[in-house]
Structure 1
Amino acid sequence: MNILKNWRIHVIALIMVAVCEWIGAKKVPLGPGILFFLPMLYAMVIGGIISLPRLRVLKDKDMDIASSVLSITTLMLVTKLGTVIGPQIIKILQSGLALSFQELGHFLGTVVLGLPIAIALGLGRESIGATFSIDREPNIAIISEKYGLTSPEGRGVMSIYICGTLFGAVWLGLLAGYLGALHILHPYALAMGAGVGSGSMMAAASGAIKAVFPDQGNEILMFAGAANLLTTVVGIYFSLFISLPLTEKLYGILKPILGPKEAKKEA
């Protein structure tokens, strides 16, 4: 009931939606591709600006209520995806092997690419929590249970979670739109890659891909939603038993090689 009574949140959201829809989708040529700026990206930027404490537009209580509303709207998004996936279940089953293999990239990709960079930048065991996955809610639970959130690994996982919340949807939306505009990857492959286990990131990325390939909009949403669901369900066990142990092993190997001189001496 408190959510419904706080009319300021609803009015601000309505104004933001009206402004963002009025601006509309914009295409910016960049090299051989195109950057797609969608209304959702404007809304996230505007929301971040008006949330600054010094502006005093929103209070902490207002933002807590807005987070509750976000949970409800995420359920609506998942429900919509379910209605898209259901009629297309045969296509999902036919692409089962491809859909399964792309999951390796969602987890091992962060380890192979992110861990060496994190170590080279001087991070200690924070790099383990930061790079063993994309660090959404289930991954935080894994690190919290094994190391505790006050540990270096806990600080790493929480820092990436915050960065993903603030910038993840914007970054993935721009990246997906640009890659789609290059026409070097199949739209279904891009859609699968959009399902990283985060509803907001998946929505931003799949929306940008759909803008590039409007004739295949339903199929793009279907594959993105299926990949997102698979990442969420299977990802917990994959992170716990494969990517986290692998990250710890690689950390012990790479730290003496890529770490700062002090760390090399200690090793």
Structure 2
Amino acid sequence: MFISKENKQNVEHIYREKTDRRILKKNPWRDYRLHGTVLILVIIAQIIGPKQIPIANGVEVSIMPLLYTMVLGLIFYLAKPITWIQRRQARIAEGAMMLFIGILIAKLAVASGQSIHLIFEMGPALLLQEFGHLATILIALPVALILGFKRECIGMTSSIGREPEVAVIVDKYGFNSAESRGIFALFIVGTIIGTVFISFLASISVSLIPLHPFAFAMASGVGSASMNAASLGPTLAAFPALETSIEAFAGFSNLLSFSIGIYIVIFIAVPLTEKLYSWLEPKIGRKAIVEEDGGDE
């Protein structure tokens, strides 16, 4: 029986909803083994505490407790002897993370209010830093083409691929397009390893690059609450005396990435990516990693 692409999407959506309802049929707050495991992981991470690893003269990487809990949580999920952490618990934890991350957002919002005079003093700098979205195009697009990606790299490199940018790409190119496959691949990879990567990147940048602490705080606002928190940790560890001000700039920058960054993507980033792709692909593009279908069979 032939099923159209549109009907297939609807069928997949229906089955996803049924799966979620089955997973969450029991009250997730009564999954005490999951919550107990999370508590143990947090205690272990706090006991270990932040660690500074020197990698060169005057350069060190700060490893924050958030990284320990993520790694330990992944081990618990993959370890076969641990049978009480399965797919159902992963779905519960995913929803709980989105709930509890709101506490962090509220804390950053309060810090932004306390330091609102500093934010006004920064003036256009906070808005201009949103043009950092374009760096993903200039750096990542040539690399993606060299690796063999085709139209997928338009979705992959036009932004860092958080929720607003995903909506823009899907709305412009369609759900089943190569561009949408690219943005979804980037979103998944960013969700899995994005917090780990940006934590290391922030730690190294704080040690190597002689910029003002507020610049690092603004750079942490990439439009993702979890990545914002991961990059904020090393910055606070490096400049503890400026904790409130750094939190204010990080929170406000993250808000701007959601509200203004989406317009940067719509009116500048995506057209620029299209233009660069049409110019660079014939010059440095390689054979596609996944060959397109040549026609109906």
Tell me the TM-score normalized by structure 2: 0.84
SS of 2:124's partner is: helix
Alpha-carbon distance in 2 for matches of 1:261, 1:23: 47
- State the Cα deviation string for residues 47-67 of structure 1 (Å, max 9, x = none): 222222755442211111111
- State the Cα deviation string for residues 101-131 of structure 1 (Å, max 9, x = none): 11111x1010111111111111001100100
2:111 aligned with 1:111, yes or no?
A: no
Alpha-carbon distance in 2 for matches of 1:257, 1:176: 34
User: 1:179, 1:185 within 8 Å by CA — same for their partners in 2?
Assistant: no
Alpha-carbon distance in 1 for matches of 2:209, 2:188: 32
Q: Tell me which residue corresponds to 1:249.
A: 275
2:142 aligned with 1:89, yes or no?
A: no
Give 1:87 deviation, angstroms.
1.4
User: 2:45, 2:69 within 8 Å by CA — same for their partners in 1?
Assistant: yes
Identify which of 19, 27, 38 aligns with 1:2. 27
Paired residue total = 262
Distance 1:70 1:262, change over 3 A: closer
Q: Tell me which residue corresponds to 2:128.
A: 101
- State the Cα deviation string for residues 18-71 of structure 1 (Å, max 9, x = none): 010011100000113110000001111112222227554422111111111111
Alignment map for 1:139-178 (pairs within 5 Å): 139-178=165-204
SS of 1:51's partner is: helix
Alignment map for 1:39-118 (pairs within 5 Å): 39-52=65-78, 54=80, 56-105=83-132, 107-118=133-144
Alpha-carbon distance in 2 for matches of 1:127, 1:53: 34
User: 1:26, 1:36 within 8 Å by CA — same for their partners in 2?
Assistant: yes
Alpha-carbon distance in 2 for matches of 1:242, 1:183: 28
User: 2:52, 2:63 within 8 Å by CA — same for their partners in 1?
Assistant: yes
Alpha-carbon distance in 1 for matches of 2:89, 2:287: 47
- State the Cα deviation string for residues 207-243 of structure 1 (Å, max 9, x = none): 1111011111111111111110100111122211211
2:256 aligned with 1:212, yes or no?
A: no
Q: Tell me which residue corresponds to 2:150.
A: 124
User: 1:53, 1:59 within 8 Å by CA — same for their partners in 2?
Assistant: no
Identify which of 26, 32, 50 aligns with 2:51. 26
Q: Tell me which residue corresponds to 1:16.
A: 41
Give 1:148 deviation, angstroms.
2.7
Gaps of 5+ in 2: 1-25, 290-297
Identify which of 223, 227, 231 aligns with 2:257. 231
Distance 1:256 1:204, change over 3 A: same
Tell me the TM-score normalized by structure 1: 0.93
Alpha-carbon distance in 2 for matches of 1:158, 1:54: 29
Alpha-carbon distance in 2 for matches of 1:246, 1:170: 29
Equivalent AA in structure 2 for residue 28 of structure 1: I
Alpha-carbon distance in 2 for matches of 1:207, 1:262: 39
2:239 aligned with 1:193, yes or no?
A: no
User: 1:81, 1:221 within 8 Å by CA — same for their partners in 2?
Assistant: yes
Equivalent AA in structure 2 for residue 141 of structure 1: A
User: 2:34, 2:89 within 8 Å by CA — same for their partners in 1?
Assistant: yes
Distance 1:130 1:183, change over 3 A: closer
Equivalent AA in structure 2 for residue 206 of structure 1: L
Give 1:201 deviation, angstroms.
0.8
User: 1:190, 1:209 within 8 Å by CA — same for their partners in 2?
Assistant: yes
Distance 1:101 1:5, change over 3 A: same
RMSD (CA atoms): 1.7
Alpha-carbon distance in 2 for matches of 1:41, 1:254: 37
Larger radius of gyration: 2
Give 1:13 deviation, angstroms.
0.8
